[in-house]
Amino acid sequence: MTISPLSRLAWRTFVFLLVISLPSMPLLAQAPVSRPTPRSVTPVAVTLRTTMGDIELELYPDRAPVTVGNFLAYVDAGHFDGGSFYRVVRVDNDNGDPKIEVIQGGASPAGRGAFPPIAHESTDETALRHRDGTISMARGGVGTATSEFFICVGEQPGLDYGASRNADLQGFAAFGRVTSGMDVVRAINAIRGTTTGDAGYTGGQMLDEPIRILEAVRR
């Protein structure tokens, strides 16, 4: 069938009117753009309430966001409640080199390792050194830290990046400091450890009666 020019014009007009009268179709949804989470510049205050007294901490999410975030996840989940300080390391019982002085604690048995291991934030990255009262993450290999931590008694440069305490020279991940309660930390550190159990590296460091963490709370 032949369509006249007038018919063609009428058809085009009809199609045009049909198109502009249709509801607009939504654009295809785009994947959300991943944006870095802003780093808080405000230190976070946490209190560890123990059977020997309170230890008040100040944590630095601006310097060590991954490590602080992990520690706070354990705090908020209540996994440190019922935990303990179970290991004391002093010059007179340390089997490592260089010798250090710290107390080591961690989550309750049920909460230990509740979250996946975290990436290692070295002191070279964060500029947080192991000084008197520094809180830092215990670990085996790099990237294995979970729920166990320690607090320094005195200056401990041997735990910083590049020091030989660990063969990998990566040091430990410091993420805050004690602001009140170092008397409690020193009193725990002075307790004599047992000679039973592991007679090797941790011999004389493990406490027969660990000092319980009653509660860990944000302030």
pTM of the model: 0.81
**What pLDDT band is residue 195 in, cutting at 50, 70 and 90?**
low
Please report the domains of the chain, with CATH numbers, ordered by start residue: 44-218 (2.40.100.10)
Q: What pLDDT, on a 0 to 100 scale, did the predictor assign at position 41?
A: 76
**Cα 68 from Cα 176, distance rounded (Å):** 8
CB 213 within 8 A of CB 48: yes
* Per-residue pLDDT band at 196 (split at 50, 70, 90): low
- Cα distance between residue 122 and residue 162, in whole Å: 10
Among 19-23, 36-40, 78-82, 119-123, whose mean pLDDT is lowest? 19-23
| pLDDT at residue 28, rounded to an integer | 35
Give the rounded percent of residues in the chain with a pLDDT score beyond 90. Answer: 74
101/78 Cα distance (integer angstroms): 28
Q: In this predicted model, what pLDDT tens digit does every residue of 153-189 receive, in sequence order?
A: 999 999 999 999 999 999 999 999 999 999 999 999 9
Specify the pairing of strand 134-137 against strand 83-89. Answer: unpaired
pLDDT in tens, 49-83: 999 999 999 999 999 999 999 999 999 999 999 99
Distance between CA 131 and CA 118 in Å, rounded? 23
